[in-house]
Structure 1
Amino acid sequence: MITKGQERCLYVFPVSEFARIASQLREQPMTHKAARAYSRVFFASAHDEVPDKQGRVTIPAHLREYAGLDRELVVIGASTRVEIWDRQAWDTYLAESEEDFAGIEEGVLPGGL
């Protein structure tokens, strides 16, 4: 499953992981405004893309536009998903995030490193 991600990238999930997230979102009360907003964007932009015989996947035009995908892409592993970024957007994000990453204290990883 491919859908809009945060920071203008695309998220790619195995069907089982997408179903797990969908289940968690369904458990949120309809009165939770942020959950409603997230669900709308997350599900409205989701596409079930099946790789062709050569393992290639077509990215729908509206998702390419959302993520600013043009010529050079970066595909990264992010735990239970893959993210697809425009090369320049990824380089900018990474440069801006390096200092934050270096300064992250305990609490992000259970038990520390």
Structure 2
Amino acid sequence: MFLGTHSPRMDDKGRLVLPAKFREELADGVVLTRGQEHCLYVFGAQEFRRIHEAIRQAPLTSRQARDFLRLFLSGASDQVPDRQGRITVPPDLRRYAGLTRDLVVIGTGDRAEIWDAAAWSSYLEANEEPFSETAEEVIPGVF
């Protein structure tokens, strides 16, 4: 399970060191792809296969499903972290997420997300207060 907030730096070749606590779960392979809110999603290879199978069930007649599938899969990059736990973020994904040198990697349970540090700070600023004021059941059966 991916949890916590980490602040790695990306080098000039687009590489970043995965947080140590994520490496075991990602050792067999990782898939990076476009996420919502202009971050990158980081899935373990097995979890990505599970998600791919689920989204393949969407009807081809649904334009929204086709658009989502195209964007989600066309940006995907599969790789295996090196011995130091580094992965390389392809240039097109760096552009999509607006990544600079300073990054934030957060755990969101079944995946990690890579954010530009300034974008993550803006996201937190915009969403922390509404989060603290949530008065209704957002996730059924949990809160």
Q: Give 1:4's aligned residue.
A: 34
**Residues 48 and 105 of structure 1: is their aligned pair in 2 closer, same or farther, counting only changes over 3 Å?**
same
2:63 is matched by which residue type in structure 1?
K
TM (norm. structure 2) is 0.75
- 1:108 paired with 2:138, answer yes
Contact 1:106 1:112 (C-alpha < 8 Å) held by counterparts: no
Alpha-carbon displacement from aligned partner over 1:79-110 (angstroms, at most 9, x marks no partner) = 11000000000000010001221122342234
| Structure with the higher strand share, 1 or 2 | 2
- 1:21 paired with 2:81, answer no
Gaps of 5+ in 2: 1-30
TM (norm. structure 1) is 0.93
Deviation at 1:21, TM superposition (A): 1.1
1:8 is matched by which residue type in structure 2?
H
Alignment match of 1:97 (pick from 117, 122, 127): 127
- Segments of 4+ in structure 1 off by > 4 A? none
Deviation at 1:33, TM superposition (A): 1.2
Deviation at 1:49, TM superposition (A): 1.7
CA RMSD of aligned residues (A): 1.2
- 3-state SS of the aligned residue for 1:109? coil
Q: Give 2:102's aligned residue.
A: 72
Alpha-carbon displacement from aligned partner over 1:2-58 (angstroms, at most 9, x marks no partner) = 001011100000111111111111111101111111000000000102111111111
| Structure with the higher helix share, 1 or 2 | 1
Percent of paired sites with the same residue: 51
Gaps of 5+ in 1: none
